[in-house]
């Protein structure tokens, strides 16, 4: 039997950045911290890693405990380990992130710990280095969305072009020219026009579309080329 003597052992936390889209805006789910220090302040969904759990399982179980959300696809982002990030005791935090359709999970969201959605551009002050975690997660989202049409996973079954445009504008934090955006979206050949209009925002209305799922599966990279250079966007961000 061998032992690692004289080495430092650290507390390990998991923190989850949950982005949601409500059809108009991208939001971030926050919860009030339940323990000292900074008890009662806004925080990402977090908790300590217990001795017998894998990182992925711990992330799932923390999210479920604090929000009631289950079956959300969480992906590891990176670890934050500055010695002073938690003033009480050095704690390494492994951050996870997810992107969900807010309406789809509305009924699941439990109120026990009072989780709340905040506009991503208007977050309250967060504890420790959580604002830095959100910033990194937003950057990662831009990368992922440039290579995968993952943003479609967030849209309802039928959606309008202005909704799709809001989603991309939210992720990339820029404004697209409306006509240019439509032209590029239609050129992917992935949208099927429906016979109905959404008239909630204008008299003229906006046609509903649905995704051509077969083409979507075959042609997973058709969206690649309409994303502006993510590097430039990321540098500015």
CA distance 232 to 219: 26
CA distance 146 to 229: 9
CA distance 167 to 57: 29
| Chain residues 2-31 in contact with its own copies, contact rule CB under 8 A | 2-4, 7-12
What is the radius of gyration, based on Cα positions, of the chain? Answer: 20
β-pairing, 159-160 with 206-211?
antiparallel
Contact pattern for its own copies over residues 29 through 48, marking x by CB under 8 A: -------xx----------x
Buried b (16+ CB within 10 A) or exposed e, 80-113: beeeebbeeeebbbbbbbbbbebeebeeeeeeee
Q: At what angle do helices 161-172 and 130-147 cross, to 10 degrees?
A: 130
Q: By C-alpha distance, which of 168, 154, 171, 153 is closest to 217?
A: 153
| Closest distance of CB 151 from its own copies, Å | 15
Check residue 143 for interaction with its own copies (CB under 8 A).
Answer: yes
| Closest distance of CB 3 from its own copies, Å | 7
Q: Which of 23, 32, 41, 53 binds its own copies (CB under 8 A)?
A: 53
For its own copies, which is the closer residue by CB, 195 or 214?
Answer: 214
| Chain residues 62-91 in contact with its own copies, contact rule CB under 8 A | 76, 78-79, 81-83, 88-91
Check residue 220 for interaction with its own copies (CB under 8 A).
Answer: yes
| Chain residues 159-218 in contact with its own copies, contact rule CB under 8 A | none
Check residue 157 for interaction with its own copies (CB under 8 A).
Answer: no
Check residue 156 for interaction with its own copies (CB under 8 A).
Answer: no
β-pairing, 206-211 with 75-80?
unpaired
Q: Which residues bind its own copies (CB under 8 A)?
A: 1-4, 7-12, 36-37, 48-55, 76, 78-79, 81-83, 88-92, 94, 143, 146-148, 220-221, 224-225, 229-232
């Amino acid at each position: 039997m061998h032992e690692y003597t004289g080495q430092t052992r650290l507390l390990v936390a998991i923190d989850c950045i949950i982005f949601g889209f409500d059809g108009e805006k991208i939001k971030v789910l926050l919860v009030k911290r339940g323990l000292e220090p900074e008890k009662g302040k806004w925080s990402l969904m977090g908790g300590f890693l217990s001795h017998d759990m894998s990182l992925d399982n711990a992330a799932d179980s923390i999210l479920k405990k604090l929000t009631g959300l289950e079956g959300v696809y969480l992906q590891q982002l990176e670890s934050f380990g500055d010695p002073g990030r938690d003033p009480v005791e050095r704690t390494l935090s492994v951050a996870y992130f997810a992107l969900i359709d807010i309406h789809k999970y509305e009924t699941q969201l439990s109120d026990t710990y009072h989780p709340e959605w905040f506009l991503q551009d208007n977050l309250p002050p967060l504890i420790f280095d959580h604002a830095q975690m959100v910033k990194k997660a937003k950057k990662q989202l831009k990368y992922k969305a440039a290579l995968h049409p993952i943003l479609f996973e967030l849209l309802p079954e039928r959606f309008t072009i202005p909704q799709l445009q809001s989603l991309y504008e939210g992720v990339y934090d820029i404004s697209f020219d409306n006509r240019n955006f439509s032209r590029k979206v239609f050129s992917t050949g992935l949208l099927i026009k429906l016979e109905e209009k959404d008239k909630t925002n204008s008299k003229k209305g906006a046609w509903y579309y649905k995704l051509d799922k077969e083409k979507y599966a075959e042609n997973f990279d058709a969206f690649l080329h309409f994303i502006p250079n993510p590097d430039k966007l990321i540098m500015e961000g």
